[in-house]
Amino acid sequence: MASKTNKSEMKIVDNNSQEADVVKQYDTQVNSKVGSKAEQEALANEVINDNPRKMSEIIADKKAALKLNEDLLRELQTNEYEIPFGSTKLYKQLMKFLEKDADWGHTTATGLIMLYSNLKENAKKTQDKDWDGIIKLRGTSITILWSMITSMKGAGFFSARNFIELMAAFGQELSTVVQKVHEDNQALRDNHVKLSELDTEVNSPDVILDVPIDKYDEAEQELQNLMNEVDPVVETV
């Protein structure tokens, strides 16, 4: 009887051992415990493209996006927005601040010059007897003005009083216009996302190389040439 019991126990042990081997093999295959953690994550995130595009199609989309980017940048530089200064006194106070007291660095010097030049274009109309108190500024100047106003500093009572008068006159209106500029530039931000997506797609192994990838690089050079032509101060998106 003891002998039979031992054989039965040995059989159970063998079955458990076989099950353990199967579970171990399954765990290895399903949980991908082979390779580095980075490799496992890459495999887990890999998406098979069932409809790969041709390189020529991607390049065509890139060129179209670059053209749209150029048009949107031009609009940003030419669209004008109204700021209610209200009086010649406030206009002169702001010009004086920009001329003598505005802080600038290597990344903001160009913006200060652009803003000052744009404001100075309005100087003549502020002298008219029937001036309505409105100053028109381009979109790029609006964002620069907002940055300058919100970082203004001074010393003494008179400087503080001038600042309060300035903000009371058009601070709220300027904030509203800045938001409008931001909304108008949504198309530019969306197009930047499109350009980024194309840059990702072109590096996909599924792309059909019906033309050399160098053609895509030529489109990149076109973008660089464009950015060299436009003003260097553009709203950050």
- Reduce the DSSP state of residue 155 to 3 states and report it: coil
- Predicted structure pTM score: 0.56
Domain residue spans of the chain: 2-44, 53-237
Count of residues in the chain: 237
Residue partners of 118: CB distance under 8 A and separation at least 6: 137, 138, 141
Report pLDDT for 12: 41
Four-CA torsion 176, 177, 179, 185, nearest 10 degrees: 170
**Pick the residue with more confidence: 152 or 83?**
83
Mutual orientation of helices 139-150 and 157-184 as an angle, nearest 10°? 140
Report pLDDT for 190: 92
The per-residue pLDDT for range 64-122, each reduced to its tens digit, is 998 898 888 888 778 899 988 888 988 998 898 888 888 888 888 888 999 999 999 99
- What tokens were used for 212? 């050399």
Report pLDDT for 24: 53
- Reduce the DSSP state of residue 114 to 3 states and report it: helix
Report pLDDT for 113: 92
| Of 136, 143, 152, 134, nearest in space to 96 by CA | 152
Report pLDDT for 9: 42
Place of tokens 């404001």: 119
